[in-house]
Amino acid sequence: MATEDVALAASAEQGILSKPDTHQQSPRSTIVNDFSIQIATVNGSGSQSANSVLLRSIFRMGIPVSGKNLFPSNIAGLPTWYTIRASKDGYVARKKEIDILIAMNAETSKEDMLSLPVGAAAIYEESADLKQFRNDVACYPVPFDKLTADVCPEAKLRKLVKNMIYVGVAAQLLQMDMQAVEAALRKQFAKKVKAADLNWAAVQAGYEYAAANFTKNDPFQLQPMNATEGKIIIDGNAAAALGCIFAGCTVVMWYPITPSSSLVENFIDLAKRYRIGPDGKATFAIVQAEDELAAIGAVLGAGWSGARSMTATSGPGISLMAEFAGLGYYAELPGVIFDVQRTGPSTGMPTRNQQGALLSVAYLSHGDTKHVMLIPGSVRECYEMAMDAFDLAEQLQTPIFVMSDLDLGMNNWMSEPFTYPEKPLNRGKVLSAEDLTRLGGFARYKDVDGDGIGYRTLPGTDHPLAAYFTRGSGHNEKALYTERPDDYVNNMERLSRKFDTARTLVPQAEIVQTGKSKIGLIAFGTSDFATRESRDQLLKEFNLDTDYLRIRAFPFSREIHEFVASHDRVYVIEQNRDAQMLSLLKLDLEAKDIVRLRSIRHFNGLPIDARSITDDLVTQEGI
Amino acid sequence: MATNPVPSAPLEAPRAAAKTNRIGLQVLDYRGGKTTLCAGCGHNAISERIIDAFYEMGVQPERVMKLSGIGCSSKSPAYFMSRSHSFNSVHGRMPSVATGALLGNHTMKALAVSGDGDSASIGIGQFVHLMRRNVPMIYIIEDNGVYGLTKGQFSATADIGSKLKTGVINDLPPIDTCTLAIQLGATFVGRSFSGDKKQLLAMLKAAIAHNGTVLLDVISPCVTFNDHEGSTKSYKYMQEHDEAIDEVGFVPFFQEIDVEYDPGTTINVEMHDGSQMRLRKLHEDFDPTDRVASIAAQLHAHANNEVLTGVFYINTQQPSFTEMLNLVDEPLGTLPDDRVRPGRAVLEEMMQRLM
Statement: residue A26 has pLDDT above 70:
no
Distances (CA, A) of B134 to A134, B77, B137, B322: 65, 22, 8, 9
Q: Where in chain A is the domain with CATH 3.40.50.920?
A: 510-621
Which residues fall within 8 angstroms of residue A598, CB to CB, at 6 or more apart? A3, A569, A570, A571, A572, A620
Mean pLDDT computed over A138-144 = 97
Q: Buried b / exposed e across A449-479, counting CB within 10 Å, b at 16+?
A: eebbbbbbbbbbbebbbbbbbbbbbebbbeb
Helix axes A485-505, A379-396, angle to 10 degrees: 150
Distances (CA, A) of B288 to B7, B291, B301: 31, 7, 15
Q: Are the beta carbons of A15 and A72 closer than 8 angstroms?
A: no
Statement: residue A384 has pLDDT above 90:
yes
A434: buried, middle or exposed (CB in 10 Å: 19+, 13-18, 0-12)? exposed
Between chains, do A250 and B87 touch, taking CB under 8 Å as contact?
A: no
CA A63 to chain centre: 22
Contacts A231 to B, Cβ<8 Å: 355
Q: Are the beta carbons of A312 and A286 closer than 8 angstroms?
A: no
Between chains, do A462 and B325 touch, taking CB under 8 Å as contact?
A: no
Between chains, do A297 and B107 touch, taking CB under 8 Å as contact?
A: no
A458 touches chain B (CB under 8 A): yes
Helix axes B94-104, A292-304, angle to 10 degrees: 40
Backbone phi and psi for residue A140, each to the nearest 5 degrees, phi listed first:
-130, 85
If we measure between CA atoms, which residue out of A127, A215, A199 comes closest to residue A167? A199
Between chains, do B108 and A305 touch, taking CB under 8 Å as contact?
A: yes
* Rounded-to-integer distance, Cα A164 and Cα A261, Å: 28
Between chains, do A246 and B333 touch, taking CB under 8 Å as contact?
A: no
| pLDDT for position B16 | 60
Q: Are the beta carbons of A39 and A16 closer than 8 angstroms?
A: no
Question: Which of the two residues, A344 and A417, has the higher pLDDT score?
Answer: A417
pLDDT tens across B266-306, in order? 788 888 888 888 887 777 778 899 999 999 988 988 888 88
| pLDDT for position A16 | 39
Q: Buried b / exposed e across A392-405, counting CB within 10 Å, b at 16+?
A: bbbbbbbbbbbbbb
Mean pLDDT computed over A596-605 = 96
Statement: residue A378 has pLDDT above 90:
yes
* Rounded-to-integer distance, Cα A86 and Cα A343, Å: 27
Between chains, do B355 and A247 touch, taking CB under 8 Å as contact?
A: no
A321 touches chain B (CB under 8 A): no
| pLDDT for position B6 | 47
Q: Name the band, by pLDDT with cuts 50, 70 and 90, for residue A12.
A: very low
* Rounded-to-integer distance, Cα A591 and Cα A578, Å: 20
Statement: residue A514 has pLDDT above 60:
yes
Statement: residue A172 has pLDDT above 60:
yes
Between chains, do B105 and A461 touch, taking CB under 8 Å as contact?
A: no
Question: Which of the two residues, A331 and B239, has the higher pLDDT score?
Answer: A331
Q: Chain A: give the shortest CA distance to residue B354, in Å.
A: 5
First to last CA, chain A: 15
Statement: residue A319 has pLDDT above 80:
yes
Q: What is the CA radius of gyration of chain B?
A: 21
Instruction: List A102's β-bridge partners, or say none.
Output: A39, A123
B240 touches chain A (CB under 8 A): no
pLDDT tens across A188-227, in order? 998 899 999 999 999 999 999 999 999 999 999 999 999 9
Q: Name the band, by pLDDT with cuts 50, 70 and 90, for residue A372.
A: very high
Return the SS3 of B125.
helix
Between chains, do B108 and A469 touch, taking CB under 8 Å as contact?
A: no
Q: Which residue type is seen at B286? A: F
Q: Are the beta carbons of A549 and A514 closer than 8 angstroms?
A: yes
| pLDDT for position A198 | 95
Mean pLDDT computed over A481-503 = 97
* Rounded-to-integer distance, Cα A389 and Cα A30, Å: 47
Mean pLDDT computed over A424-442 = 98
Mean pLDDT computed over A38-48 = 89
Average model confidence (pLDDT) across chain A: 94
Provide, rounded to the nearest whole percent, the portion of chain A with pLDDT above 70. 96
Q: Chain A: give the shortest CA distance to residue B60, in Å.
A: 9
If we measure between CA atoms, which residue out of B105, B98, B74 comes closest to residue A459? B105
**Residue B305 Ramachandran class (φ > 0 left, ψ -120 to 50 alpha, else beta):** left
Mean pLDDT computed over A66-95 = 92
Domains and CATH numbers, chain B: 27-354 (3.40.50.970)
CA B39 to chain centre: 23
Positions in chain B whose pLDDT score sits under 50: 1-7, 9, 259
| pLDDT for position A43 | 85
Backbone phi and psi for residue A42, each to the nearest 5 degrees, phi listed first:
-105, 135
Return the SS3 of B240.
helix
Distances (CA, A) of A481 to A9, B32, B85, B115: 56, 13, 15, 20
- DSSP conformational letter for B267: E
Cβ-nearest to B104 among A230, A274, A306: A306
* Rounded-to-integer distance, Cα A290 and Cα A300, Å: 16
Sheet strands (E) in A471-539: 510-513, 519-524
Contacts B34 to A, Cβ<8 Å: none
| pLDDT for position B275 | 86
Q: Please work out, in degrees rounded to the nearest 5, the angle formed at the alpha carbon of residue A392 by the alpha carbons of A387 and A396.
A: 165
User: At CB < 8 A and 24+ separation, what contacts does A159-163 make?
Assistant: A159/A45, A159/A46, A160/A46, A160/A49, A161/A198, A161/A199, A161/A202, A162/A104, A162/A202, A163/A41, A163/A45, A163/A46, A163/A47, A163/A49, A163/A50, A163/A51, A163/A104
* Rounded-to-integer distance, Cα B324 and Cα A378, Å: 37
Between chains, do B335 and A299 touch, taking CB under 8 Å as contact?
A: no
Which residues fall within 8 angstroms of residue A44, CB to CB, at 6 or more apart? A74, A75, A76, A77
| pLDDT for position B258 | 56
| pLDDT for position A525 | 98
| pLDDT for position B256 | 64
Q: Chain B: give the shortest CA distance to residue A67, in Å.
A: 15
Q: Are the beta carbons of B208 and B21 closer than 8 angstroms?
A: no
A323 touches chain B (CB under 8 A): yes
Measured over the CA atoms of residue B279, residue B283, residue B284 and residue B288, the dihedral's sign is negative
* Rounded-to-integer distance, Cα A258 and Cα A241, Å: 15
Q: Where in chain A is the domain with CATH 3.40.50.970?
A: 236-415
Which option is the CATH number for A27-221: 3.40.190.10, 3.40.920.10, 3.50.50.60, 1.20.120.160? Answer: 3.40.920.10
* Rounded-to-integer distance, Cα A352 and Cα A600, Å: 19
Q: Are the beta carbons of A266 and B306 closer than 8 angstroms?
A: no
Expressed in percent and rounded to 5, the helix, strand and coil fractions of chain A are 40, 20, 40
Provide, rounded to the nearest whole percent, the portion of chain A with pLDDT above 90. 90
Residues 572-591 of chain A with CB under 8 A from chain B are: none
* Rounded-to-integer distance, Cα A103 and Cα A111, Å: 10
Return the SS3 of B57.
coil
Return the SS3 of A471.
coil
* Rounded-to-integer distance, Cα A584 and Cα A561, Å: 12
Q: Where in chain A is the domain with CATH 3.40.920.10?
A: 27-221
pLDDT tens across A256-299, in order? 999 999 999 999 999 999 999 999 999 999 999 999 999 999 99
Q: Are the beta carbons of A336 and A382 closer than 8 angstroms?
A: no
Return the SS3 of A490.
helix
Q: Name the band, by pLDDT with cuts 50, 70 and 90, for residue A142.
A: very high
* Rounded-to-integer distance, Cα A261 and Cα A276, Å: 22
Cβ-nearest to A297 among B8, B100, B133: B100
| pLDDT for position A28 | 60
**Residue B40 Ramachandran class (φ > 0 left, ψ -120 to 50 alpha, else beta):** left
Mean pLDDT computed over A344-362 = 93
CATH 3.40.50.970 for domain A236-415, yes or no, is: yes
Between chains, do A294 and B96 touch, taking CB under 8 Å as contact?
A: yes
Omega prior to A345 cis, within 30 of 0:
yes
Mean pLDDT computed over A438-458 = 97
Return the SS3 of B307.
strand
Between chains, do B88 and A471 touch, taking CB under 8 Å as contact?
A: yes
Q: Chain B: give the shortest CA distance to residue A271, in Å.
A: 10
| pLDDT for position B229 | 87
Contacts A481 to B, Cβ<8 Å: 33, 78
Cβ-nearest to A297 among B33, B96, B339: B96
| pLDDT for position B274 | 85
If we measure between CA atoms, which residue out of A71, A82, A5, A67 comes closest to residue A529? A67
Strand arrangement, sheet containing A335-341: A285-288, A251-254, A309-313, A335-341, A399-405, A372-374, A553-554
Q: Please work out, in degrees rounded to the nearest 5, the angle formed at the alpha carbon of residue B76 by the alpha carbons of A309 and B250.
A: 90
Residues 459-478 of chain A with CB under 8 A from chain B are: 459-464, 466-472
Q: Which residue type is seen at A529? A: F
Residues 86-145 of chain B with CB under 8 A from chain A are: 86-90, 93, 95-105, 107-108, 125-126, 129, 133
A280 touches chain B (CB under 8 A): yes
Mean pLDDT computed over A565-580 = 98
Cβ-nearest to B96 among A293, A470, A481: A293
Quick one: CATH architecture of A510-621?
3-Layer(aba) Sandwich (3.40)
If we measure between CA atoms, which residue out of A22, A38, A138, A124 comes closest to residue A85? A38
* Rounded-to-integer distance, Cα A20 and Cα A114, Å: 6
User: At CB < 8 A and 24+ separation, what contacts does A344-352 make?
Assistant: A344/A315, A344/A316, A345/A315, A345/A316, A346/A316, A349/A73, A349/A605, A350/A73, A350/A258, A350/A314, A351/A71, A351/A72, A351/A73, A351/A258, A351/A259, A351/A406, A352/A70, A352/A406, A352/A605, A352/A606
CA A508 to chain centre: 19
If we measure between CA atoms, which residue out of A572, A566, A565 comes closest to residue A597? A572
